[in-house]
Structure 1
């Protein structure tokens, strides 16, 4: 087991608190009895290069949910999926052509509720061998990598805001080069960074 794998595994074993798109907006009143749709996303960390990198995508601008935003490969749990991990692996194959057998699953981050009604479970995995990434044209506009060192630096995270449905909504952002990583993806990564920052 590599030092990185050991550190991540220990971090994932710690107690975690579920997160949501409403964490920074405590005045939000959520409807009682709301039903969230389960989803799984893959936090894939490539370890075969000079330094570890996280695989991310830019979503197609034609999508109904979160068009044009930065996201992990992943999506809702379908009837044929065994669980959220299976859904994340299936979606990663469909969206970026990551072979299902390649990721080494280390565990899960806490679930995250999105404003669009999903309960997303981030599946953390190491990708120890190169693969030929291909973007699924209908869903993914671009595939890119962000250095894990950038993602895990809690000082890089900002709280920003914008008007949404008549009110000001606050959210985390962790920009990287030309990529504006914000919202649910940034919130999940911020939780991961905080866990890994514990000495």
Structure 2
């Protein structure tokens, strides 16, 4: 555990920069829109050295079935983005805030859908039995931190979007296809770890 804390806090202390869904697409200008503040909980389990991720419900209007961190937009009652990430993690997967040791925040990530997501890096202690909120989350699973912290596990792929090919990062793990904003946030952190 001390080694995990050391690696996480070292990576957090390193210089980092904001990222976006457009990073690999330099020919596409970042849209000049009012961004909605949001936060996700980049939660690493201490005992297993795994990262907690979710598979979004197929019933959702936006990004159905995609892999994501627990999180969402900052509500009026959230005093900070960290509070928003903790609230969302409790609502979506049943994670109690007293099990979470927040280490800090990573640079924000701008999405094509107009959100400015702040990843909140945290360590989860003790036993945790996920309780997915059925309307939002179809599955909660964990990926070894070592897999996600290794830049060699990432690949660049592309899809057609709004009439042109858009490139993005992907970091598959077993049956899970982790891509888009989640993979970009993970890749930015992997670069800091390495």
Please say whether Structure 1 and Structure 2 have the same fold, judged by a TM-score greater than 0.5: yes
Unaligned segments of structure 1, at least 5 residues: none
1:89 aligns with 2:86: yes
The aligned counterpart of 2:39 is 40
1:147 Cα offset (Å) = 0.5
Q: Give the alignment's TM-score, normalised by structure 2.
A: 0.97
The aligned counterpart of 1:22 is 22
Q: Give the alignment's TM-score, normalised by structure 1.
A: 0.95
The aligned counterpart of 1:149 is 146
1:29 Cα offset (Å) = 2.4
Alignment of 1:136-175 (within 5 A): 136-175=133-172
- CA gap 1:31/1:194 in 2 versus in 1, 3 angstroms: closer
* Residues 22 and 30, structure 2, Cα contact 8 Å, conserved in 1: no
* Residues 98 and 133, structure 1, Cα contact 8 Å, conserved in 2: yes
Unaligned segments of structure 2, at least 5 residues: none
* Residues 46 and 54, structure 1, Cα contact 8 Å, conserved in 2: yes
How many angstroms apart in 2 are the aligned matches of 1:31 and 1:175? 28
How many angstroms apart in 1 are the aligned matches of 2:61 and 2:16? 30
1:72 aligns with 2:69: yes
SS in 1 for 2:138: strand
How many angstroms apart in 1 are the aligned matches of 2:21 and 2:30? 11
SS in 2 for 1:58: strand
Aligned counterpart for 2:180 among listed residues 178, 183, 190: 183
SS in 2 for 1:172: strand
1:135 aligns with 2:119: no
* Residues 66 and 178, structure 2, Cα contact 8 Å, conserved in 1: yes
SS in 2 for 1:193: helix
SS in 2 for 1:75: strand
* Residues 76 and 87, structure 1, Cα contact 8 Å, conserved in 2: yes
* Residues 65 and 116, structure 1, Cα contact 8 Å, conserved in 2: no
CA RMSD, 1 decimal: 1.1
How many angstroms apart in 2 are the aligned matches of 1:124 and 1:69? 21
Q: Number of aligned pairs?
A: 194
How many angstroms apart in 2 are the aligned matches of 1:150 and 1:164? 28
Q: Deviations over 1:84-123 (max 9, x none)?
A: 1000000000000000121111111110000110000000
1:194 aligns with 2:184: no
SS in 1 for 2:4: helix
